[in-house]
Chains A and B, each alone.
Chain A
Amino acid sequence: MSPQRFVIDTAAVAAEKFDDETVVLHFESGRYFSLGGAASWIWQAFEQPNDVATLATAAPGGALGPALADIERFVAELEALKLLLPVSGGAASAPLAPAPELWAAPSLEVFSDLSDLIALDPVHEVDAMMGWPRRPDPGIG
């Protein structure tokens, strides 16, 4: 069985990478995230479909090294936060950027101050063509 591949849900998020941090904004919830350590490298890898085993192979220590557990945990966390989508099939992805030489466990800081404001002042999303209660299809437009 092929390993499960994931990709960033680009319809749901925007992200910007700086030297030591990637900032991610999830539009619907208003939550935003700071990715540090190896997290930026992992995030960049999922700009195209990829799987945990491929990342672990490229990380220090190789496929069965200590980075494997870090990557598995982090990918599960990203998926739970609706930042990654599982995908099936598709062509092979381009080679990964080099992993950080000094591996530090990927970290994710979650900021929910704006999502609290959104919850207080609800906004209802409607598809422009179909009206209520059709929620907009992220694939349209």
Chain B
Amino acid sequence: MTALTARTTHPTALNAQPPFDLLPEGVLDTLLAGPPALRAAIGPLLLDIHASDAETARLATRALAHARVERHHDGPDRQHVRVAFIDCARAGLPPPRGVPGTEHLLAPHDEVNLREGNRIVAIHQAESRTWEGFDPPRGIGVVYTADAGRIAPWEWASPAKRIIEWATLDRPYGLLHGAVLARGGEGFLLAGNSGVGKSTTTAAAMLRGIQTAGDDVSLLEWRSDGGVTAHAAYDSLKVGEASLALLGGRIAAAGEAVGPGIAKHMLRITDIAPETLVQSVDLKAILLPRLAGLARTAIRPAEHGAALRALGPVSSFVMRVAPEATFARASRLVRSLPCYALDLSVDPLEVADTIGDLLERPGSLP
């Protein structure tokens, strides 16, 4: 970043509130006036997904279909957010312009954040020429892209994630990064950075019939009784080649690779074990998995500080738009629940069985 700043010779202003002011007049209003491709209910959130064309609608809705509700479904107690996915290539629109002066400076996977203070207010992704932004007063989010086919595959595993984050910043609920496992609607949040074993453990748990609300992000809601509910945000599971091998081929690599050079497959939970995907889980504890190479998985109490280190920074990085708010949400969660370190064995199915036992007998937690 420092090198790029030094090479540029003069400032150029966008003179617009992207992406809204960059859209051709009437495009957004026309799109939103029609029925949504999907209406999804995720806990307190009612999400309408609108798309400019059938293929973009397919991409934008497949990880949200588990939460589908009828179009006439209304929830006066719910927050209503509308999201418009606009693919210029398919809609016959001119591609959106980027941030002036940055076009020749950006590598394909780079993003440009427009900030106000510590909050990001709009994001531009270089390779796909995609703008993403949210208008809080109107409750409208926009993903405005030159070509939806050039949006990174892993983005479709959690579509509109940042729009949901923008929409919920000042609410008593919001997204956090982690896997959720449960039995009978009560369960645990597995927290930690990439590579600690969350997704592999989730996949193994599904094979054992353990419920899940997802392996990546869920919508956490604080209830009036002081408890916390995790709502399943996305029907998706990202598993690497090594994890597929560990599971002994029990899960076929049917999903597409997440990205070039990134050895992960995106699968849908409902394609593997549809009965395991649950809409909501009453969280009872936070587990902090760690690859320990043990013969048997072990659990021990963990300090709240350790739980925040496992949950807060990575959630702030994954959600990105307001790291201070995300970090505060993570802190609130670790103060709300008991925390345990989970030292994993080398066998993910044994890990799943251990978690299953703890879910069956929560009194056995140390």
Contact = CB atoms under 8 A, between A and B. Distances in A.
A14 B317 CA distance: 13
Interface stretch (B26-34, B224-232, B265-273, B320-328): B320-328
Interface stretch (B43-51, B113-121, B199-207): B113-121
A130 interface: yes
Contacts, number: 130
Contacts of B5: 133, 135
A60 interface: no
Contacts of A130: 11, 13
Nearest to A119: B1
B317 A131 contact: no
A129 B303 contact: no
Interface in A24-67: 25, 27, 30, 32, 34
Interface residues of A, number: 37
A93 to B, nearest CB: 23
B107 interface: yes
Given A132-B12, A133-B11, A25 B327 contact: yes
Contact of B119 (A16, A124, A131, A141): A141
Interface of A: 11, 14, 16, 18, 20-23, 25, 27, 30, 32, 34, 111, 113-114, 117-118, 121-136, 138, 140-141
Interface of B: 1, 4-5, 8, 11-15, 99-102, 105-107, 109-119, 121-122, 193-194, 303-306, 308-309, 312-314, 316-317, 320, 323-324, 327-328, 331
18 contacts: A14-B316, A18-B304, A18-B308, A20-B305, A21-B305, A23-B309, A25-B316, A32-B312, A34-B309, A117-B317, A121-B110, A122-B111, A123-B113, A124-B111, A131-B11, A132-B99, A133-B4, A136-B115
